[in-house]
Chain A
């Protein structure tokens, strides 16, 4: 299948060169051929997909098509999807057929975009390699011996392998941007509060945010137009007027001030990644941008802060999985307490349990001030570094991850080593700022390299403008794995 943009697909649908059913079938055929080796999907249901595509065709025939009506999309298995198995990558929800739609799913349904299936992910979105999924690891389409990143690894892999033209993801500490980088696609985590978390299975509620993943920034802008919007069912969803995120795509970059945080180019960064990011900076300069060195001095504390706050919130959020109302229940148990303890011991995987234990510990009596409160205070210092930086620049640029994809199993026995993958992505989550990753080259092993942009609150249109102009001047985002073409 040729690489094709969402706007090109939508134009073909509107011109009746192809029907939504035919298009969905083409993607389902490609999934059937490639997914057994990649494992990007947990659930497929061709009947539902084709029925949704037929409904989209009816809308197109009736002249009621929106900008993306009929274009199919894959959804991360963290979004509750009415009538679809929604597992969150966990044995705990291996049998959970959601009885309602997440707001994000409703938005895509209202836009007439058929679902191609539910994508694989790290269990409860806790992981940076997709190896913690109960449904098996996802393989990187660029080299199946390597991880796709995580936690939205299935989403990133299915887009990279062109098994879907686009996918939804969620990002708590880098779970959209890091897999986008490792799989060579574009992904955007919006400003916290822009997309409703209703029906999105909670990990760390003050950090979780859903966003689009697709080959290009232009695609992401179109998807963001669909995903955003006020929803009173999420108490942290912001009441703002709808924006058109494509509005600034074609603006020239002259006068753009790009901030380069010195801490993001320091020790620990792989040389090939550094060289590719620096080449991207040169490209932006050619397009009229200027650079300024900035400092995010407290960002080095982002990982310790995150590994207090996110587990604390997770230990509370995941207390709902008790074997009473939905999901897994241990087959044998004594009293009620024993049922809880056995259900949770058997239903959760090792990484999820570790994080629940960290959370329970940092919130327990006698440790709250030393850990939780201290982490919240440093969170403010990290956010203040960003506010100061945005006085001197319009957008912050750096690497998305310290290296390219690593081998399956290489880091799975060492949690701390795994956590360090999110060194550059976590600060934006803690501050609630929008961040995106876009492809900017390949290493000597042929694995993709990701470039990260972090913008000020609500500056998604500007970030997409920068990314789109860069993608007009380069072709990294349109490259595909040679043997999957």
Chain B
């Protein structure tokens, strides 16, 4: 299978990356050669094999439901692109 330019534009849209038609075309060629490489795993019979999501069999640890972090709002907001009065500023979402 191979990706069309429209496929590339659709996934770029899903990933929220603005992509021009020219970029989508260049990307399409590269992605298709990568998917050709990926396709070699389709021939493997994996019936009955449990998927491995993680290198170690670990389970989520639980902890007491107490606050462990201190308030560092000022430090974190000092590096934000736009803040006002303790709020992160973004373009208006709701009219």
CB distance from A267 to the nearest CB of B (A): 15
Q: Is the interface of B mostly helix, strand, loop or mixed?
A: loop
Could you give, for residues 11-46 of chain B, a 1 whenever the CB lies within 8 Å of some chain A CB and a 0 otherwise?
110111111000000010011011111111110101
CB neighbors of B among A303-327 (8 A) = 303-305, 307-308, 315, 319, 322-327
**Bound-complex Cα distance A190 to B62 (A):** 25
Give the contacting residue for A431; candidates B39, B49, B55; CB below 8 A: B55
Query: Are the CB atoms of A236 and B46 closer together than 8 Å?
Result: no
Query: Are the CB atoms of B18 and A344 closer together than 8 Å?
Result: yes
Contacts of A340 in B (CB 8 A): 16
CB distance from B51 to the nearest CB of A (A): 3
Chain B: interface residue count, which band? 35 or more
A354-B27, A354-B34, A431-B55 are known contacts. Are A374 and B12 too (CB-CB below 8 A)?
no
Residues of A whose CB lies within 8 Å of any CB of B are 95-97, 99, 192-193, 206-207, 232, 235-236, 238, 298, 301, 303-305, 307-308, 315, 319, 322-329, 333-342, 344-345, 348, 353-354, 356-362, 364, 370-371, 373-381, 383, 414-416, 419, 430-433, 457
**Bound-complex Cα distance A232 to B40 (A):** 39
Query: Are the CB atoms of A206 and B53 closer together than 8 Å?
Result: yes
User: B56's closest neighbor in chain A, by CB?
Assistant: A193
Query: Are the CB atoms of B15 and A378 closer together than 8 Å?
Result: no
Give the contacting residue for A380; candidates B18, B52, B63; CB below 8 A: B52
Contacts of A431 in B (CB 8 A): 55
**Bound-complex Cα distance A360 to B17 (A):** 11
User: B15's closest neighbor in chain A, by CB?
Assistant: A360
Query: Are the CB atoms of A416 and B34 closer together than 8 Å?
Result: yes
A99-B79, A236-B54, A345-B18 are known contacts. Are A324 and B88 too (CB-CB below 8 A)?
yes
**Bound-complex Cα distance A361 to B72 (A):** 37
**Bound-complex Cα distance A319 to B15 (A):** 8
Query: Are the CB atoms of B17 and A193 closer together than 8 Å?
Result: no
Query: Are the CB atoms of B81 and A96 closer together than 8 Å?
Result: no
Contacts of A457 in B (CB 8 A): 56
Query: Are the CB atoms of B60 and A235 closer together than 8 Å?
Result: yes
User: B58's closest neighbor in chain A, by CB?
Assistant: A236
Query: Are the CB atoms of B91 and A336 closer together than 8 Å?
Result: yes
Query: Are the CB atoms of B80 and A326 closer together than 8 Å?
Result: yes
Contacts beyond the supplied A326-B80, A344-B17: 7 A-B pairs with Cβ under 8 Å = A95-B79, A193-B56, A298-B44, A325-B76, A360-B15, A377-B52, A378-B41
**Bound-complex Cα distance A193 to B33 (A):** 33
**Bound-complex Cα distance A325 to B72 (A):** 14
A193-B55, A334-B91, A431-B55 are known contacts. Are A415 and B30 too (CB-CB below 8 A)?
yes
Query: Are the CB atoms of B18 and A341 closer together than 8 Å?
Result: yes
CB of B82 within 8 Å of the partner chain: yes
**Bound-complex Cα distance A416 to B63 (A):** 44
Query: Are the CB atoms of B38 and A307 closer together than 8 Å?
Result: yes
CB distance from A111 to the nearest CB of B (A): 24
Query: Are the CB atoms of B38 and A357 closer together than 8 Å?
Result: no
**Bound-complex Cα distance A276 to B51 (A):** 37
